[in-house]
């Protein structure tokens, strides 16, 4: 038996990430233009119109009834388990086929309706939301729908639409943010491949009957396979448990000589990571849908509680310190929903490339929803820290603030951690520069090629730089059609140019070292997220002003808050402790400040931080959970 651990250099890791990137831009991208200093409001305004879908509305109505009347979120939390009846009930409604085309037995929902369904389900149980989201957004339906052969679609999609659950297995003990280390091997054998490896943290992995497995085919690279959950040689070794999402069916899954037919390769050998990333373009919208859900619940709980709870002679919501938190929760929820709806609708009408916007909304919503829930816990005081069941046992109203906080925390880690999202979006933000000037700063490039690149870059920058000096945002009456919000859009236009100037300056200052300036790049991306959020709320508020004029107030409030955050980020681009922090972290890692650890009990037990795994048959029992069909 061998322990499979790959040694991968930083450069190799980058090359793998780069190769997985979609390098072409076939459609216009609001986000890409924004980072280049071109505020293309026309790409997202007028606000897209929702396509009428009476069948989808009817599904959402039935789903709402089911969630309200039959899904007991408190029970799932208490039992750490989603009951079989919920799997069956959702299957009967067609919820496992929400994004599967009708011709394969699914509901063929748009992104907008799909995300609304997740928001609805998530409000009762984030675990069930995660089940559905992992199944459709990263599990078998989406990659097979987009990259599958007609035979694969016919073979798998109807089963999934009927209620079979799927999972996506990329992560391994030694592989998280860095897939270049992937150790699961798919060895070619007659008629197919033989899989060996261990996969960690697969959501739905303990119940799924169809899996997407990422494995390395020698000489060809990381490849996506559809694998039958019951195939011989698969053992579900453990069900993992977490801070939140208590009902999650999340596995450690072992593959020992598992035969997978050739016909089950998705999209070609070596295409696995590209498929995963492309799938995530719209797949990433699921997590913000869950964040919107938490935001909406937070607004409701904050409103009702802050009126009723009286301390120091006033309802707590009338004390300024609490009022500010309520305003933040409301404005941020409005923004998350506006960004999500906008992304869904521009994905649905298929005119724009949404990869940057979807990544921005995932990043923004996962970070902000966490802050929203944290503020909610604070507003609720001691009850914010108390479990809903405990309050109910005292006869009080059971609001799930602490659970929400726990459930939301993972959104900042999975489907691209915040740090990885920063890098991924920053890569797109500097793409135009790299494509014209990348060779100049690449030490491996010959002098002749550098010379050509310099000439190309000279031409590009001679045309581009002057466009960053002046723009519509300086005209006092620009964007007048947005009424009271016009000033905010002028700010966005000016800030977009400033952002591009700052990025250009950083490129010239640090050149190839810019990729290591993660503090700087993270702020550039966060400013972009605030600007996108401001654009989304202004567009929505204007479109809805006749039937929902109060939206203008929320959009204005959000923009004022966002501008303060963006201004602080702009200032911190150049005034920060980044280098000092990097030096300090090195000293911490070297043990210089070990005295700080004195005086506490802290034995980690001596086990390895990352467990090594050994290829071979399972030595523990299979803990797979089988859900009887609906």
CA distances from 112 to 161, 296, 348, 361 (A): 19, 17, 8, 14
The number of residues in the chain equals 630
Candidate residues 98, 134, 500, 525; the one interacting with ligand FAD per rule CB under 6 A: 134
Question: For ligand FAD, what does the binding mask look like between residues 148 and 187, x meaning CB under 6 A?
Answer: -------------------xxxxx----xx----------
Using left for φ > 0, alpha for ψ between -120 and 50, and beta otherwise, residue 624 falls in: beta
Q: Is 18 in the site for ligand FAD (CB under 6 A)?
A: no
Q: Cβ neighbours of residue 15 under 8 Å, at least 6 residues apart?
A: 180
**Would you say 585 or 620 has its CB closer to ligand FAD?**
585
Dihedral sign (CA 155, 159, 161, 166): negative
The whole-angstrom separation of Cα 103 and Cα 401 is 41
Q: Does residue 515 carry a catalytic annotation?
A: no
Per CB under 6 A, contacts with ligand FAD among 474-513 are none
Q: Is 342 in the site for ligand FAD (CB under 6 A)?
A: no
Q: Which stretch binds ligand FAD (CB under 6 A): 244-252, 297-305, 393-401, 598-606?
A: 244-252
**Would you say 133 or 332 has its CB closer to ligand FAD?**
133
The whole-angstrom separation of Cα 141 and Cα 133 is 11
Shortest distance, CB of residue 415 to ligand FAD, whole angstroms? 6
**Would you say 378 or 518 has its CB closer to ligand FAD?**
518
The whole-angstrom separation of Cα 291 and Cα 287 is 6
Shortest distance, CB of residue 622 to ligand FAD, whole angstroms? 19
Residue with the shortest CB distance to ligand FAD: 176
Q: Which stretch binds ligand FAD (CB under 6 A): 63-71, 226-234, 399-407, 409-417?
A: 409-417
Encode 250-316 in three state secondary structure: EEEEEEEEEEEEHHHEECCCCCHHHHHHHHHHHHCCHHHHHHHHHHHHHHHHHHHHHHHCEECCEEH
Q: Pick the closest to residue 384 from 365, 397, 368 (CA basis).
A: 397
Considering CB under 6 A, how many residues would be counted as binding ligand FAD? 23
For strand 221-228 and strand 185-189, is the pairing parallel, antiparallel, or unpaired? unpaired
Candidate residues 25, 414, 461, 570; the one interacting with ligand FAD per rule CB under 6 A: 414
DSSP one-letter string for 176-222: SS-GGG---EEEEETTEEEEEEEEEEEETTTT-SEEEEEEEETTTEE
Helices (H), 47-110: 54-70, 73-79, 84-93
How many C-beta atoms surround the C-beta of residue 49 within 10 A? 9
Candidate residues 155, 269, 398, 413; the one interacting with ligand FAD per rule CB under 6 A: 413
The whole-angstrom separation of Cα 562 and Cα 560 is 5
The whole-angstrom separation of Cα 109 and Cα 102 is 9
Catalytic residue (choose from 172, 402, 415, 530): 415
Q: Is 581 in the site for ligand FAD (CB under 6 A)?
A: no
Candidate residues 420, 434, 468, 630; the one interacting with ligand FAD per rule CB under 6 A: 420
**Would you say 211 or 331 has its CB closer to ligand FAD?**
211
Shortest distance, CB of residue 185 to ligand FAD, whole angstroms? 17
End-to-end alpha carbon distance in the chain:
41
**Would you say 19 or 60 has its CB closer to ligand FAD?**
19
**Would you say 77 or 341 has its CB closer to ligand FAD?**
77
Q: Which stretch binds ligand FAD (CB under 6 A): 22-30, 242-250, 431-439, 449-457?
A: 242-250
Shortest distance, CB of residue 171 to ligand FAD, whole angstroms? 3
Q: Pick the closest to residue 533 from 332, 371, 312, 335 (CA basis).
A: 335
Q: Which stretch binds ligand FAD (CB under 6 A): 383-391, 412-420, 459-467, 536-544?
A: 412-420
Candidate residues 71, 180, 202, 536; the one interacting with ligand FAD per rule CB under 6 A: 202
Q: Which residues bind ligand FAD (CB under 6 A)?
A: 134, 167-171, 176-177, 201-203, 242, 245, 248, 250, 410, 413-414, 417, 419-420, 423, 518
**Which residues form the catalytic set?**
415
């Amino acid at each position: 038996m061998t322990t499979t651990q790959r040694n991968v250099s930083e450069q190799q890791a980058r090359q793998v990430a780069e190769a997985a990137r979609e390098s072409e831009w076939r459609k216009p991208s609001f986000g890409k233009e924004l980072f280049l200093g071109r505020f293309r409001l026309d790409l997202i305004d007028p606000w897209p119109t929702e396509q009428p879908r009476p069948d989808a509305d009817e599904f959402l109505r039935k789903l709402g009834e089911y969630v309200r009347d039959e899904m007991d979120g408190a029970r799932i939390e208490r039992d750490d388990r989603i009951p079989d009846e919920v799997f069956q009930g959702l299957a009967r409604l067609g919820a496992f086929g929400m994004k599967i085309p009708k011709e394969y037995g699914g509901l063929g929902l748009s992104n907008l309706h799909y995300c609304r369904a997740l928001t609805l389900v998530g409000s009762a149980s984030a675990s069930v939301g995660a089940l559905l989201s992992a199944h459709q957004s990263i599990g078998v339906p989406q990659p097979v729908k987009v990259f599958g052969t007609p035979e694969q679609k016919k073979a798998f999609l109807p089963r999934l639409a009927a209620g079979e659950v799927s999972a996506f297995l990329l992560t391994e003990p030694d592989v998280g943010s860095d897939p270049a280390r992937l150790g699961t091997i798919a060895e070619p054998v007659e008629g197919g491949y033989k899989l060996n490896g261990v996969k960690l943290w697969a959501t739905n992995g303990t119940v799924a009957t169809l899996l997407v497995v990422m494995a390395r085919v020698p000489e060809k690279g990381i490849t996506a396979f559809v694998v039958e959950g019951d195939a011989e040689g698969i053992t579900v070794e453990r069900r993992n448990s977490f801070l939140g999402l208590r009902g999650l069916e999340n596995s450690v899954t072992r593959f020992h000589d598992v035969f997978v037919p050739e016909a089950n390769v998705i999209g070609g050998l070596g295409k696995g990571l590209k498929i995963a990333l492309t799938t995530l373009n719209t797949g990433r919208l699921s997590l913000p849908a869950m964040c919107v859900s938490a935001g909406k619940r937070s607004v409701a709980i904050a409103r009702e509680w802050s009126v009723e709870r009286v301390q120091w002679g006033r309802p707590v919501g009338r004390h300024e310190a609490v009022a500010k938190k309520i305003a933040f929760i409301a404005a941020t929820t409005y923004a998350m929903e506006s960004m999500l709806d906008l992304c869904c609708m521009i994905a649905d009408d298929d005119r724009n490339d949404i990869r940057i916007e979807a990544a921005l909304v995932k990043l923004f919503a996962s970070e902000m929803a966490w802050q929203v829930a944290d503020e909610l816990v604070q507003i609720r005081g001691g009850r914010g820290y108390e479990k809903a069941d405990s309050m109910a046992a005292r006869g009080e109203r059971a609001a799930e603030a602490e659970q929400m906080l726990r459930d939301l925390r993972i959104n900042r880690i999975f489907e691209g951690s915040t740090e990885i999202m920063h890098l991924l979006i920053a890569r797109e933000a500097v793409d135009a520069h790299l494509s014209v000037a990348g060779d100049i700063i690449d030490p491996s490039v010959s002098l002749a090629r550098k010379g050509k690149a310099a000439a190309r870059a000279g031409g590009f920058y001679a045309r581009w730089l002057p466009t960053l000096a002046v723009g519509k945002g300086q005209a006092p009456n620009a964007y007048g059609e947005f009424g009271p919000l016009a000033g905010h859009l002028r700010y966005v236009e000016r800030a977009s140019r400033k952002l591009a100037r700052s990025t250009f300056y950083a490129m010239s200052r640090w050149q190839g070292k810019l990729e290591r300036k993660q503090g700087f790049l993270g702020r550039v991306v966060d400013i972009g997220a605030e600007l996108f959020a401001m654009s989304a709320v202004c567009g929505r508020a204007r479109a809805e002003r006749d039937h929902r004029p109060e939206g203008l107030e929320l959009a204005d409030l959000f923009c004022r808050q966002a501008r303060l955050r963006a201004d602080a980020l702009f200032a911190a681009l150049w005034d920060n402790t980044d280098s000092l922090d990097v030096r300090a972290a090195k000293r911490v890692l070297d043990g210089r400040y070990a005295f700080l650890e004195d005086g506490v009990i802290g034995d980690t037990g001596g086990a390895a931080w990352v467990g090594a795994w050994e290829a071979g048959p399972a030595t523990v029992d299979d803990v797979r959970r089988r859900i009887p069909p609906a």
